[in-house]
Amino acid sequence: MALGLRQLRYFIAIADAGVLSRAAEALNVAQSALSHHVAALETELGVKLLERRPRGIALTAAGRRLYEHASAVLSALGKAEEDVRTYNEAAAGPVCIGLSHTGIALVALDIMQAVRNNAPGVHLMVVEALSPALIERVLSGTVDLALAYNPPRDARLDVELLLDEDLYLVGQPGLIGRSSSPVAFSAIPQRSVLGLTPLPASRAIIQTQILRNQIIPSETLEVDSLPALRMALEAGLGCAILSRSTVLADLAAEKYHARRIVDPPLTRALGLVALADRPRTKAFLEVRKTMIEVVRSAVSTGRWPAKESGRRGKRAAI
């Protein structure tokens, strides 16, 4: 049995429903036919895709992997169909973009307004997440374009590097020092750093694993929420390694202090990320161009305290 679109659609429906009877009803297909379909699919691929449980079914590790591929294939097919239908027309159709908290605060409104003005036929969807989660959603096909920090080297991804940011030690003056001069990496207060876990999120802050391993985080407080981290910094519960752009408003309000990290200096790169083999619809290309223009404008005008990346091309070394 060749793995075709019908097989992928059936598998997605089964996984989403969680119960064979419910999937059969949604597809208007006999439940026995779906059971046979799953068995044949597992035989063809040589792996177990579903686990039968008393209250339904669950995906195995191989099943989750097939679900990711199937979602990406069907999403790309739908967008390709829409692009062909509107090929001789203005940019139109759905485009989903992903932004981190910093992107939401600094460029989300400009992107939304520019797309509305320049491509009114585009249905723009905006989601917010941490950079590692955005990368996963790009790979799954649920997000078309994402502004993500320190994107990984992955042949499946097309990355346009847009800017580089210095990283700062942020916290109350009593903890990080009252001076405005840079602080050496070796002087970062150990066991006081918040927000470096979990590991995927910490990679989006400090890419170099050797340096991450030299920082001992707080042993009493772990924070994986930017709003909570900002409150903890204001309350003096610890310090954090962040870019100025992440906490611009709080620094302007003097809620806490920031010192650039040196010896070695720490930086992070922002890239515009998409699937490398994704069909480039008119809507996709229009939104991609808009996002690049908006980010570079924010950097050139000083609204985003960073420098434009000098590393051009599909993917440069970080």
Greater pLDDT, 258 or 93? 258
11-22, pLDDT tens digit by residue? 888 888 888 888
* Range name among 21-30, 235-244, 276-285 with the lowest pLDDT average: 21-30
In the predicted structure, residue 315 carries a pLDDT above the cut 50: no
Structure tokens at 48: 């177990």
Question: For the chain, what are the domain ranges?
Answer: 5-77, 89-162+269-308, 164-267
What pLDDT does 136 receive? 92
**CATH of segment(s) 89-162+269-308:** 3.40.190.10
What pLDDT does 241 receive? 93
CATH 3.30.1330.10 matches 5-77: no
65-105, pLDDT tens digit by residue? 888 888 878 777 777 776 676 665 678 889 999 999 999 99
In the predicted structure, residue 309 carries a pLDDT above the cut 80: yes
* Range name among 95-109, 228-242, 301-315 with the lowest pLDDT average: 301-315
Structure tokens at 9: 């659609």
Pick the CATH number of 164-267 from 3.40.50.300, 3.40.190.290, 3.30.9.10, 3.40.50.970: 3.40.190.290
Amino acid at 39: A
* The two domains 5-77 and 164-267 share their CATH topology (first three levels equal): no
Global pTM value: 0.71
Greater pLDDT, 216 or 138? 138
135-193, pLDDT tens digit by residue? 999 998 899 999 999 999 899 999 999 999 999 999 999 999 999 999 999 999 999 99
Cα 315 to Cα 318: distance, rounded to the nearest angstrom: 9
Cα 298 to Cα 202: distance, rounded to the nearest angstrom: 25
